[in-house]
């Protein structure tokens, strides 16, 4: 083998090694650093109280609750829409042009940056529909953002439902809607669950789209009053504490919580994927 070839192989191999180690070290560093800086600041008091100027303490309970509210509200809005669209595309659509149009629209939606969602959400829901800055306004914005995700995962799992099931149901005299309810919908559970996990991950980590739609408030609310009033999610709270208030300890505590949440969501997605794979193979 000529030296030229040997150098090429050596060079490429070392480049690959360097790149992989950069990626691994980066991940380890990010996790380690955030947890190391954040965990010491996490206390029960931080997690269970709201910020109070009187006693000069910061609590993030409202932000945690807001995050949960917005996740629930977004899923409630986006699930029927995304699943419906997916069912239309796989079960009903015959016109190729409509299918292409919907798929192109979904692709476009998933490419639009979140700051634009935030801006349009603010314009449409607040200026046009007259809603005020509130969690529900943020949830509506996030629902549009997550529509393509739910649609795609549902669609993929619908495609795995064998056509013979559908034909069998028709053969037994079921109407189309009856067939969808009893045969197709149970078959797409795994896609919906996967889509939900992905969406929860995106909602929890979203901040730019919520800045102008859901606002910054840290008030403690129940779910229904919470949804109609402004509130910061954990990510927005992190941004405000770090960038505007200079409370870096609190910011790192929130970052550590977000990091742990991200890891949990990833683990869940991983195991659910394996579980569904196994179930499908049986």
Partner 1 sequence: MENIIHGIFLLLGLITVGCVLLMTIYLIISGIPAIREVGLFHFLFGKEWAPVLAEPKYGILPFILTSIYGTAGAVFIGVPIGFMTAVYLAKLAHPKIKSVVSNAVSLLAGIPSVVYGLVGMMVLVPQISTLFHIPDGSGLLAAIIVLAIMILPSIIKMSLTALEAVPKDYEDASLALGATPVETYFRVSVPAAKSGIATAIVFGIGRAIGEAMAVMMVAGNAPNMPSIFQSVRFLTTAIASEMSYSAGLQRQALFSIALVLFLFIMLINTALNFFLKREKVE
Min dist CB 196 to partner 1, Å, is 15
CA-CA distance, 6 to 10, in Å (whole number)?
A: 6
Token pair of 170 as six digits: 């028709």
Give the nearer residue to partner 1 in terms of CB position, either 26 or 189: 26
The CB-of-188 to partner 1 minimum distance in angstroms stands at 14
Chain Cα centroid distance, residue 133: 21
Q: Shortest Cβ distance from residue 121 to partner 1 (Å)? A: 9
Closest approach of Cβ 102 to partner 1, in Å? 5
Smallest gap from Cβ 233 to partner 1, in A, equals 10
In whole angstroms, give the CA distance from residue 154 to residue 186: 11
Q: CB neighbours of 53 closer than 8 A, spacing ≥ 6?
A: none
Helix (H, G, I), strand (E, B) or coil at 57: strand
What does the alpha-carbon distance between residue 40 and residue 31 come to, in Å, rounded to a whole number?
15
Nearer to partner 1, 69 or 252 (CB): 252
Residue among 13 and 279 whose Cβ is closer to partner 1: 13
Report d(CA 52, CA 68) in Å as an integer.
Answer: 22
Q: Which is nearer to partner 1, 45 or 107 (CB)?
A: 107
The span from the CA of 231 to the CA of 215, in Å, is: 5
Of the pair 26, 223, the CB lying nearest partner 1 is at 26
Least Å distance, CB 4 to partner 1, is 11
Do the beta carbons of residue 217 and residue 230 sit within 8 Å? yes
Cβ–Cβ under 8 Å, residues 239 and 208: no
Residue 16 or 223: the one with the smaller Cβ distance to partner 1 is: 16
């Amino acid at each position: 083998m000529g030296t030229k070839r040997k150098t090429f192989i050596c060079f490429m191999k070392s480049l690959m090694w360097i790149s992989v180690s950069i990626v691994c070290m980066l991940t380890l560093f990010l996790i380690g650093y955030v947890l190391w800086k954040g965990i010491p600041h996490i206390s029960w008091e931080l997690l269970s109280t709201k910020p109070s100027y009187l006693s000069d303490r910061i609590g993030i309970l409202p932000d945690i609750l807001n995050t949960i509210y917005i996740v629930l509200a977004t899923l409630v809005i986006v699930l029927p829409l995304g699943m419906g669209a997916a069912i239309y595309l796989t079960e009903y659509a015959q016109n190729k042009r409509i299918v292409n149009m919907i798929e192109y629209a979904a692709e476009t939606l998933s490419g639009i940056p979140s700051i634009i969602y935030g801006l349009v959400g603010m314009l449409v829901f607040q200026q046009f529909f007259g809603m005020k800055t509130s969690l529900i306004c943020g949830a509506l914005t996030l629902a549009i953002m997550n529509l393509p995700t739910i649609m795609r995962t549902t669609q993929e799992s619908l495609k795995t439902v064998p056509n013979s099931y559908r034909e069998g149901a028709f053969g037994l005299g079921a109407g189309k809607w009856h067939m969808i309810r009893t045969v197709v919908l149970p078959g797409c559970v795994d896609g919906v669950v996967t889509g939900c996990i992905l969406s929860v991950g995106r909602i929890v980590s979203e901040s730019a789209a919520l800045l102008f739609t859901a606002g910054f408030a840290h008030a403690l609310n129940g779910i229904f009053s919470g949804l109609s009033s402004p509130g910061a999610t954990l990510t927005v709270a992190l941004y405000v504490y770090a960038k505007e208030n200079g409370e870096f300890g609190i910011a790192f505590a929130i970052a550590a919580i977000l990091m742990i949440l991200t890891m949990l969501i990833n683990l869940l997605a991983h195991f659910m994927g394996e579980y569904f794979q196994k179930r499908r193979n049986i």
